[in-house]
C-alpha cells in the first residue's frame, strides 16, 4: 500500500526577524521579540509542517554544501523528515532568504539565490513518487523539472496511485505553458489568490478556478489570506473561512495550508474539512515567527479549531 507524502520542489533556508520597523543605522544592538531560522520554501516548508503534524514525509530537493544547507537538512531530520532524496550540490549555495517582518505584518525579503529550485528527478525519485500516498508538487519553474521531467514524474505518480497536490511560488506569466503540462496530473491545484489572478488573467476567484479545471486539474483550492480558501470541487464552489487569529508573521502560511490539507486527508478527513484544518494550521503558523510559527501538533490544531472564531462569516 502506498504511504506517506513526497514533497518535491523549492527548498530554502528562511531567517525571519520580528519586529523590524524600518532598518536603522545605529551601531547599537536592538532587542527584538523573535528570530527564527528554519527550512522553508514551497516544498521544504510544507514538508516540515506536515512532519510537525505527524505525517510521514520525504523531501525531494537540493541544498548547497554550505552551513545553511547543513542546517536545512538537520532541521528537517529533527522533525523526522526523510532527507535521503535531498541532494547536496558541491560548490553551490543553499537558497536563503532573510525576512524583516514589520509589527504591522508587512515584510521585506532579501533573497540570496542558490540551488533550491532544482530538485533531482531520477529513477529513485520516480520510484518514490509511485509508492507514495501523496505527492506535493512545488517544482513549477524548476530547471530540472520544467519542459517534461516534472510532468513525466507526475504521470508515474498517478499511475502508482498517488494523490497529487500542486502549489506555486511567484510564477512568471510564461509558467502557464508548464502549468498546462502539469495540471492534467493534479488532483488539487492550490495557488494563492494573487497567483490565480495573475495566471488566469481574471480577477474573479470562480473564473480563475474554472480556468485551471479546464486546463486539467480535478479540483482547485485558491488560498486567499484572511478571507480563507475558495474551493472548486466536483463542479461546486465553496468558501472555507479562515480563523480569526492574531497574525504576527504570515510567511509560509500558503505552504503550511497545503501541509495541513494533506495531513488531514491522510487521516481520512473529507476535503472541505481538511481545508478547515489547513486554515487552522496556517493560522497557528501566522501567530508566531517563521515556518512553524506557533504550531504544535495535529491534536492541538484540532482543539484550536473549536477555540477560535471564524475570520469571516460563512457564506
Ligand atoms: N491574516 C490571516 N488571518 C487568518 N488566516 C490567515 C491569514 N493570512 C493567511 N491565513 C491562512 O493561510 C492561508 C494561506 O495564506 P495565503 O493566502 O496568504 O497564501 P500564500 O499567498 O500562498 O502564502 P505564502 O506567502 O506562504 O506563499 C489562508 O488561506 C488562510 O487560511
Ligand atoms: Mg504561496
Could you tell me which residue, 24 or 187, shows the higher pLDDT? 187
Atom of ligand 1 nearest to the CA of 253: 26
Domain contains 102? no
Task: Classify residue 77 by burial, with Cβ atoms within 10 Å: 0-12, 13-18, 19+.
Answer: middle
Domain contains 287? yes
Q: C-alpha cell of 72?
A: 536545512
Domain contains 53? yes
pLDDT class of 175 with cuts at 50, 70, 90? very high
Residues with CB under 6 A from ligand 1: 192, 223-226, 228-229, 242-243, 245, 247, 250, 252-255, 257, 279, 282-283, 286, 311
User: pLDDT averaged over the chain?
Assistant: 97
Distance of CA 59 to the CA centre of its chain: 12
Q: Which residue matches cell numbers 520544467?
A: 146
Q: Which domain holds residue 279?
A: 46-62+119-307
pLDDT digits (tens, 9 = 90+) for 24-50: 777 888 999 999 999 999 999 999 999
In this prediction, residue 302 carries a pLDDT of: 98
| Residue 283 contacts residue 305 (beta carbons within 8 Å) | no
Q: How far is the CA of 224 from the centre of ligand 2 (A)?
A: 10
Nearest to 196 by CA among 218, 221, 177: 221
pLDDT digits (tens, 9 = 90+) for 144-165: 999 999 999 999 999 999 999 9
Q: How far is the CA of 253 from the centre of ligand 2 (A)?
A: 7
In this prediction, residue 173 carries a pLDDT of: 87
In this prediction, residue 150 carries a pLDDT of: 98
CB atoms < 10 A from the CB of 176, how many? Answer: 16
Atom of ligand 1 nearest to the CA of 45: 26
In this prediction, residue 194 carries a pLDDT of: 97
What CATH code is carried by the domain that includes residue 279? Answer: 3.40.1190.20
Evaluate if residue 141 carries a pLDDT over 90: yes
pTM of the entire predicted model? 0.98
Look at the chain and report how many structural domains it folds into: 1
In this prediction, residue 236 carries a pLDDT of: 98
Domain contains 262? yes
In this prediction, residue 26 carries a pLDDT of: 78
Domain contains 106? no
Q: Give, using CA atoms, the residue closest to atom 23 of ligand 1.
A: 254
Beta strands 12-18 and 96-101 are parallel
Ligand nearest to the CA of residue 140, numbered in listed order:
2
Q: Give, using CA atoms, the residue closest to atom 28 of ligand 1.
A: 225
CB atoms < 10 A from the CB of 305, how many? Answer: 15
Domain contains 301? yes
Mean pLDDT of 113-141: 98
Domain contains 186? yes
Evaluate if residue 87 carries a pLDDT over 80: yes
Q: How far is the CA of 65 from the centre of ligand 2 (A)?
A: 27
Q: How far is the CA of 226 from the centre of ligand 1 (A)?
A: 6
Ligand nearest to the CA of residue 290, numbered in listed order:
1
Mean pLDDT of 200-205: 97
pLDDT class of 23 with cuts at 50, 70, 90? confident
In this prediction, residue 9 carries a pLDDT of: 98
* Best residue among 104, 196, 225 to mutate for probing ligand 1, ranked by most atoms within 8 Å of CB: 225
Mean pLDDT of 241-257: 97
Q: C-alpha cell of 263?
A: 495531513
Domain contains 114? no
Rounded to whole angstroms, what are the CA distances from 68 to 46, 138, 284? 18, 21, 26
Amino acid at each position: 500500500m502506498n504511504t506517506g507524502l513526497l514533497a518535491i520542489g523549492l527548498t530554502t533556508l528562511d531567517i525571519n526577524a520580528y519586529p523590524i520597523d524600518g532598518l536603522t543605522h545605529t551601531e547599537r544592538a536592538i532587542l527584538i521579540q523573535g528570530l527564527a531560522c528554519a527550512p522553508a520554501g514551497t516544498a521544504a516548508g510544507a514538508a516540515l509542517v506536515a512532519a510537525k503534524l505527524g505525517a510521514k514525509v520525504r523531501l525531494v530537493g537540493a541544498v548547497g554544501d554550505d552551513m545553511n544547507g547543513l542546517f536545512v537538512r538537520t532541521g528537517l531530520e529533527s522533525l523526522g523528515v526523510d532527507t535521503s532524496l535531498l541532494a547536496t550540490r558541491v560548490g553551490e549555495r543553499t537558497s536563503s532568504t532573510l525576512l524583516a517582518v514589520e509589527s504591522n505584518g508587512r515584510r521585506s525579503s532579501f533573497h540570496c539565490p542558490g540551488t533550491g529550485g532544482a530538485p533531482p528527478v531520477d529513477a529513485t525519485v520516480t520510484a518514490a513518487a509511485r509508492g507514495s500516498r501523496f505527492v506535493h508538487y512545488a517544482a513549477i519553474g524548476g530547471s530540472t523539472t520544467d519542459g517534461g521531467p516534472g510532468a513525466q514524474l507526475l504521470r508515474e505518480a498517478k499511475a502508482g496511485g498517488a494523490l497529487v497536490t500542486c502549489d506555486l511560488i511567484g510564477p512568471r506569466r510564461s509558467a502557464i505553458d508548464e502549468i498546462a503540462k502539469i495540471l492534467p496530473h493534479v488532483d488539487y491545484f492550490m495557488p494563492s489568490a494573487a497567483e490565480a489572478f495573475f495566471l488566469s488573467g481574471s480577477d474573479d476567484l470562480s473564473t480563475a478556478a474554472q480556468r485551471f479545471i479546464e486546463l486539467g486539474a480535478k479540483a482547485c483550492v485558491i488560498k486567499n489570506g484572511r478571507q480563507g480558501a475558495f474551493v472548486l470541487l466536483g463542479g461546486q464552489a465553496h468558501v472555507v473561512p479562515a480563523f480569526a487569529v492574531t497574525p504576527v508573521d504570515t510567511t509560509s502560511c500558503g505552504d503550511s495550508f497545503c501541509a495541513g490539507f494533506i495531513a488531514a486527508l491522510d487521516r481520512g478527513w473529507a476535503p472541505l474539512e481538511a481545508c478547515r484544518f489547513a486554515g487552522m494550521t496556517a493560522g497557528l503558523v501566522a501567530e508566531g515567527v517563521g515556518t512553524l510559527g506557533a504550531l504544535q501538533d495535529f491534536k492541538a490544531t484540532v482543539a484550536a479549531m473549536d477555540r477560535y472564531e471564524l475570520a469571516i462569516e460563512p457564506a
